[in-house]
């Protein structure tokens, strides 16, 4: 059984790649959930860097995904697809989506949903899934971070950076971040960074050496790539792990392979969106068992920057591109 679902809905879309101004409000048809999916009446949608890259024409959606932007939402489940237990209907959830979040209704695999109920404000709930899934997989699974180790995070006040800092501290890591201003460094310390380095004024390689007494960090979470990679490797301790999740500074890096071999360093990385639904379902189950209780109990809360009406998605993208935000930018669709 489903709610009365309209045939059409309001959404944000673009017809040609470009700057934030290409985002326009459109009216499109509502797609009902497929097998294994639910339809969520969207209260809020998170804004993420991949949305900006897709809007620029550099990150096409994977096959079968909605062409609309939006990789995370919160709201009420108003319809269930074949094979989904009817008890999911009317549940308040947040979800990782393959696209389609910038709209009044969004399809998502039921196995990619996390329960929210009344435990978390819906604006905050929409700010969690994309960064939580990304950080959990890359820091704790690929990066093999363990209690007592040190983690270096670039972009410490970004959505990913704030999530990595909070989760890292919660699971016993000493987190070092880099930020572009003293204001951002101060903010990073308030939500859990043990050390914050202003990379515009200080060489972060030398700062990490000083902080760690020359030992280095066990894990680097890298969103820059390019010429940051050889500098990051100098920050790693022996047997350290370097995990790349974005290439904002370029896709190529020049490496000293002899140093990598002699110090037994591991270089890895991943992109989440193209991974299979089955992989994301396993990741969601692990997160629900291990990290999600911290959010439900309000021990962890996403760092929120600004909330924009859905119609002002262009302004939200402009703020993200300017780089002044601290934490997550969210679009209000219905408000819950």
The domain defined by 8-128+273-332 folds into Quinone Oxidoreductase; Chain A, domain 1 (3.90.180)
Name beta bridge partners: 77. 40
Spell out, as residue ranges, where the chain has pLDDT lower than 50.
1
Contact 270, 245 (CB under 8 A): yes
Distance CA 326, CA 29 (A): 35
What's the confidence (pLDDT) of residue 2? 62
Buried residues in 309-320 as b, exposed as e (16+ CB within 10 A): ebebbbebbbbb
Q: What is the dihedral of CA 102, 108, 114, 120, to 10 degrees?
A: 20
What's the confidence (pLDDT) of residue 336? 60
Contact 234, 263 (CB under 8 A): no
What's the confidence (pLDDT) of residue 235? 98
* C-alpha separations of 70 from 145, 187, 233, 254 in Å: 29, 27, 33, 34
pTM for this predicted structure:
0.95
Distance CA 288, CA 284 (A): 6
Classify strands 72-80 and 92-96 as parallel, antiparallel or unpaired: antiparallel
Residue 270 φ then ψ, to 5°: -165, 160
What's the confidence (pLDDT) of residue 276? 94
What is the residue extent of each domain of the chain? 8-128+273-332, 131-269
Distance CA 77, CA 2 (A): 9
Distance CA 233, CA 119 (A): 41
**Structure tokens that stand for 302 in this block:** 């996403």
Distance CA 139, CA 169 (A): 12
The domain defined by 131-269 folds into Rossmann fold (3.40.50)
């Amino acid at each position: 059984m489903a709610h009365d679902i309209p045939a059409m809905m309001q959404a944000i879309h673009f017809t040609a790649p470009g700057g934030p101004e290409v985002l326009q409000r459109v009216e499109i048809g509502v797609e009902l959930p497929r097998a294994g999916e639910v339809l969520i009446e969207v209260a809020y949608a998170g804004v993420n860097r991949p949305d900006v890259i897709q809007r620029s024409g550099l990150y096409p959606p994977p096959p079968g995904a909605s062409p609309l932007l939006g990789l995370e939402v919160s709201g009420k489940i108003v319809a269930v697809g074949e094979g989904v237990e009817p008890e999911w209907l009317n549940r308040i959830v947040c979800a990782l989506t393959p696209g389609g979040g910038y709209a009044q209704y969004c399809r998502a695999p039921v196995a990619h949903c996390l329960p929210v109920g009344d435990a978390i404000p819906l604006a905050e709930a929409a700010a969690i899934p994309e960064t939580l899934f990304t950080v959990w997989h890359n820091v704790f699974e690929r990066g093999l971070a363990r209690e007592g180790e040190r983690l270096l995070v670039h972009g410490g006040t970004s959505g990913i950076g704030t999530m990595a800092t909070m989760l890292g501290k919660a699971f016993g890591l000493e987190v070092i971040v880099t930020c572009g201003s003293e204001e951002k460094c101060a903010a990073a310390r308030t939500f859990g960074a043990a050390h914050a380095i202003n990379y515009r004024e200080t060489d972060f390689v030398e700062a990490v050496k000083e902080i760690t007494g020359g030992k280095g960090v066990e894990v680097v979470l890298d969103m820059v790539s390019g010429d940051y990679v050889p500098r990051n490797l100098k920050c790693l301790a022996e047997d350290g792990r370097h995990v790349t999740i974005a290439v904002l500074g370029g896709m190529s890096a020049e490496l000293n392979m002899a140093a990598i071999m002699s110090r037994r360093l591991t270089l890895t990385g991943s992109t989440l969106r193209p991974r299979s639904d089955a992989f994301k379902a396993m990741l969601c189950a692990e997160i629900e068992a291990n990290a999600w209780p911290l959010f439900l109990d309000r021990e962890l809360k996403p760092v929120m920057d600004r909330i924009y009406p859905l119609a002002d998605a262009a302004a939200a993208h402009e703020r993200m591109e300017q780089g002044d935000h601290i934490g997550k930018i969210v679009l209000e669709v219905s408000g819950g």
